[in-house]
Amino acid sequence: MADQANDLRNLVLRAGRPGPAASTPPKLVVVAGGKGGVGTTTIAVNLAIALAHDGRRVVLVDADLDGADAGMLCHVDEPSSTVADILSGRLSVHEALERGPSGIQVLPGAWGGNALVDCSPSAQQRLLTQLKCLGAHADFVILDVGSGANRVIGHFWQSADHVFLVTTPDVVSVMDAYAAVKVLCAGVAPPSLKSVVNFAPHAAAAADVHQRLSRACRRFLGLKLTAGGHIPCDPRVGQAALQRQPFMLEYPSCEAAQAVGQLAQWLCQAPAKPSVASKALNRAAGSTRRASA
């Protein structure tokens, strides 16, 4: 009887102890463009690798339902499952992840008919909820959402901690980037929206694009868009692409690799987005101060 009493006492004590603290959600980073061909996938893949080289745990999600190229660049050519399986509820994120280069984990995209999946708000939220629960396994989740201004991309933008809006110095590309911001930030703007100028001939050209986009967003949309950096025109990028290799691995000392490395360093130092709980506490604290004033 004494042994049974001790066992029961220990069981009650264990039950009363607080469980392990919930892990911090990973930072969700969306890489997007206003039009195709600006290099969102190349930047997303190499950014994920740069973060991994900095010792961060990274999940790369190919969420571009119009063209799933990230997996191929990571040599995940024939995945057994894709992001479509998570959107439809057939699998969990953990069941669909594949091993990628430099230790990153890859959630492959869906090609062709497989892309015609349930993209309802509930399906999108299912994917985002599972990604935000990866804190025990990932520090960053990089989402390559491709280009455009549809409702799926909009949901990803509004849920992200950081959005890197990729454009080129081309006039049409800049106009499309602004149009994407106008449509996708009409409801809720992401906490951190930064422009990244790809294929920049020099720093002055990139600065001009940043300034034009920032001025237009502030004047006509009331939104803050800041400069996130630029990726210079670098022949090594094309050479790596021909070899189906990320340039961070094939030419780690090239100018483009150094520029992506700077983006990764900024992400590592950037503060996390305030949680819903902390926002509520801040609002309550503000109300208390106003009441006591």
CATH number at residue 175: 3.40.50.300
In a domain, 198, yes or no: yes
In a domain, 108, yes or no: yes
In a domain, 252, yes or no: yes
Q: What is the pLDDT of residues 146-195, one digit of tens each?
A: 887 777 788 899 899 999 999 999 999 999 999 999 999 876 778 899 99
In a domain, 104, yes or no: yes
Q: What is the pLDDT of residues 30-85, one digit of tens each?
A: 999 998 899 999 999 999 999 999 999 999 999 987 777 898 899 998 888 999 99
Give dist(CA 52, CA 202) in Å, integer: 28
pLDDT of residue 118: 64
Whether the CA torsion 274, 275, 279, 285 is positive or negative: it is negative
Number of domains into which the chain is organized: 1
Q: What is the pLDDT of residues 203-214, one digit of tens each?
A: 999 999 999 999
Helix spans in the chain (H): 2-16, 40-53, 70-73, 83-87, 93-96, 121-132, 151-159, 171-184, 203-216, 235-242, 247-250, 255-269, 276-292
In a domain, 196, yes or no: yes
Per the structure block, which two tokens stand in for 224? 């803050």
Q: Indicate the pTM of the whole model.
A: 0.84
Whether the CA torsion 125, 54, 228, 145 is positive or negative: it is negative
What is the residue range of 181's domain? 29-270
In a domain, 4, yes or no: no
Give dist(CA 105, CA 82) in Å, integer: 13
Q: In terms of residues, how long is the chain?
A: 293
In a domain, 283, yes or no: no
Q: Is the pLDDT of residue 21 over 60?
A: no
Other beta carbons less than 10 A from residue 246's beta carbon: 28
In a domain, 237, yes or no: yes
Give dist(CA 111, CA 77) in Å, integer: 11
pLDDT band of 22, cuts 50, 70, 90: low
